[in-house]
């Protein structure tokens, strides 16, 4: 068997016959590792499939998709799980990926008794996985739910093909970085192993029309671990994120061959697993408006979501005042502070400014600029904003308030939450008109 040694970038998958200090494709430093390529590895993906006339190919419409009974999940996937699709679910450790897929397996197992669900336990033992299943549901039948503690991808696929029979199946691989193949060099999670394992599962899904979920790890920077080709090989890439110190979880589709990528699913982590949440119930207007808090409505995908932006402005005794921004884009917040300092003549260079979005939510939308400015002014003057008010608008470098898109949907969401007083580009032309709302009366 002929083998050859190459050097592969662990960040983007670029191959080089010699070691390089910097990758010429992604410009990452010290990312090349030695790998061995065999002829068997290259032949592994070659199949004996034949060309099919277009008229003989069966259509995959909405009626053929598998409903998960999770409204949020079906919305993000574009209506349900398409047979034969490969779905990559990535997120930070402890965010709830295994919990989400466990609830998904339980729901589908109860919904369709004939469907066989295989849960490959790569990071946990079957006993540990069963404990999680028992915590998530009291009605655990499990006749068609199989826990499979196998890390070899070839043995896993062979066993599943022999036991699945004629009934439709669903496979959950938790996680793809723990599985290996004897035909690839390197340890579990290496570039060669991850690429070959994903390719074999993709080939299995297409040949048997079996949906396959792959759980993926993320790097320190929040990117999906492994080569970039991993995201190109799968059909759907889902990002499950949120703050582990808070209960809210958001599911986004960064790639979806069968539906839109603008939808967002919202969950709340509880003692009994993940519960679907209506975004309109995430925020409730308080009776008394607190000092330094302003409400706004942002768009997460196509869904309006009400947020409360909190600001604390306090006198600084340091040569360089502190700037702590949580939940908003740091550079965007710095621009808003500079605009307030220049056009409203606020001496913010002598004050520490702390900004936070309540509930652990995050947004990078410029529509929250006006609410950020209002919360900073409220804290600076130590006066609350008008009750039942909300702010919407983008702040330019000239101190102007500019309109944002889909204002009608935002206004409908705000009115449903009892926010009646809207401050935007319709009634505010510049930031100076915010000062009478918070400046103490003489």
**DSSP secondary structure code for residue 329 in this structure:** -
CA 109 to chain centre: 25
pLDDT given for residue 394 in this prediction = 95
> Does residue 175 have a cis bond before it (omega within 30 degrees)?
yes
Bigger pLDDT: 359 vs 231: 231
In angstroms, the CA 411 to CA 136 distance is: 37
Average pLDDT over residues 73-78: 89
Structure confidence at residue 89 as a pLDDT band (50, 70, 90): very high
pLDDT given for residue 32 in this prediction = 84
pLDDT given for residue 45 in this prediction = 43
Angle of helix 153-164 versus helix 191-208 axis, rounded to 10: 10
For residue 64, what are the contacts with CB-CB under 8 A and spacing of at least 6? 82, 83
C-alpha dihedral (332, 337, 343, 346), degrees to nearest 10: 170
**Whole-structure pTM value:** 0.77
In the predicted structure, residue 85 carries a pLDDT above the cut 50: yes
In the predicted structure, residue 188 carries a pLDDT above the cut 50: yes
Max Cα distance, the chain (Å): 89
In angstroms, the CA 94 to CA 226 distance is: 19
- Using alpha carbons, list the distances in angstroms from residue 307 to 85, 168, 277, 327, 404: 35, 43, 15, 10, 16
Average pLDDT over residues 132-154: 86
Place of tokens 């993940």: 274
Structure confidence at residue 226 as a pLDDT band (50, 70, 90): low
Tokens of 217: 């790890």
The alpha-helical segments, DSSP class H, found in 33-125 are 39-43, 71-77, 97-111
Q: For the residues of 225-252, what is the DSSP string, one character each? A: SS-THHHHHSSEEEEEE--TTSSEEEEE
For residue 246, what are the contacts with CB-CB under 8 A and spacing of at least 6? 359, 360
In angstroms, the CA 249 to CA 17 distance is: 43
In angstroms, the CA 110 to CA 168 distance is: 14
pLDDT given for residue 297 in this prediction = 93
Mean per-residue pLDDT of the chain: 85
The model's pLDDT over 355-393, given as tens digits with 9 standing for 90+, comes to 999 877 888 999 999 999 999 999 999 999 998 899 999
Top mean-pLDDT range of 10-19, 125-134, 297-306: 125-134
**Dihedral angle sign, alpha carbons of residues 415, 419, 423, 424:** negative
Bigger pLDDT: 394 vs 165: 394
β-pair partners for 293: 310
Tell me what percent of the residues of the chain surpass a pLDDT of 90.
43
In angstroms, the CA 129 to CA 404 distance is: 46
The model's pLDDT over 18-75, given as tens digits with 9 standing for 90+, comes to 899 998 887 888 888 887 665 444 444 445 567 878 888 777 655 578 888 888 899 8
CA 140 to chain centre: 29
pLDDT given for residue 43 in this prediction = 42
Place of tokens 């401050």: 423
The model's pLDDT over 104-117, given as tens digits with 9 standing for 90+, comes to 999 898 888 888 99
Average pLDDT over residues 79-91: 92
């Amino acid at each position: 068997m002929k083998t050859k040694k190459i050097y592969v970038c662990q960040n983007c998958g670029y191959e080089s016959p010699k070691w390089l200090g910097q990758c010429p494709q992604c410009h990452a430093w010290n990312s090349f590792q030695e790998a061995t390529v065999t002829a068997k590895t290259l032949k592994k993906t070659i199949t004996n499939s034949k060309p099919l006339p277009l008229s003989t190919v069966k259509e995959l419409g909405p009626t053929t998709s598998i409903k998960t009974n999770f409204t949020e999940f079906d919305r993000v996937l574009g209506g349900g799980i398409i047979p034969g699709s490969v779905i990559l679910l990535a997120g930070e450790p402890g965010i709830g990926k295994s919990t989400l897929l466990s609830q998904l397996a339980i729901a589908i197992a109860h919904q369709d008794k004939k469907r066989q669900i295989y849960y490959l336990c790569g990071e946990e033992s079957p006993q540990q996985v069963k404990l999680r299943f028992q915590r998530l549901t009291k009605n655990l039948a499990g006749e068609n739910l199989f826990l499979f503690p196998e890390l070899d991808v070839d043995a896993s696929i062979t066993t599943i093909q022999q036991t699945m029979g004629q009934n439709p199946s669903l496979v959950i691989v938790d996680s793809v970085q723990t599985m290996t193949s004897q035909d690839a060099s390197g340890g579990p999670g290496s570039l060669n192993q991850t690429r070959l394992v994903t390719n074999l599962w993709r080939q299995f899904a297409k040949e048997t029309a079996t949906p396959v979920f792959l759980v993926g790890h993320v790097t320190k920077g929040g990117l999906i671990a492994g080569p970039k080709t991993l995201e190109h090989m799968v059909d759907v890439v889902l990002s499950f994120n949120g703050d582990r110190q808070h209960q809210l979880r958001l599911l986004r589709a960064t790639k979806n061959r069968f539906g839109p990528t603008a939808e967002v699913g919202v969950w709340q982590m509880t003692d009994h697993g993940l519960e679907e949440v209506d975004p309109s119930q995430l925020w409730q207007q308080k009776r008394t408006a607190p000092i330094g808090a302003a409400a706004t409505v942002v768009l997460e995908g196509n869904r309006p979501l009400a947020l409360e932006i909190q600001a604390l402005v306090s006198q600084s005794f340091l040569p360089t005042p502190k700037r702590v921004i949580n939940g908003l884009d740091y550079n965007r917040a710095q621009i808003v502070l500079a605009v307030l300092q220049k056009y409203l003549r606020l001496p913010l260079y002598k004050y520490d400014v702390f900004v936070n979005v309540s509930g652990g939510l995050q947004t990078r939308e410029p529509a929250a600029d006006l609410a950020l400015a209002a919360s900073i002014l409220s804290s600076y003057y130590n006066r609350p904003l008008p009750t039942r008010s909300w702010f919407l608008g983008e702040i330019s470098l000239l101190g102007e308030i500019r309109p944002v898109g889909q204002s009608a949907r935002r206004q409908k969401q705000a009115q449903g939450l009892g926010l009646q007083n809207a401050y935007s580009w319709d009634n505010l032309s510049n930031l100076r008109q915010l000062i009478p709302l918070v400046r103490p009366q003489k």
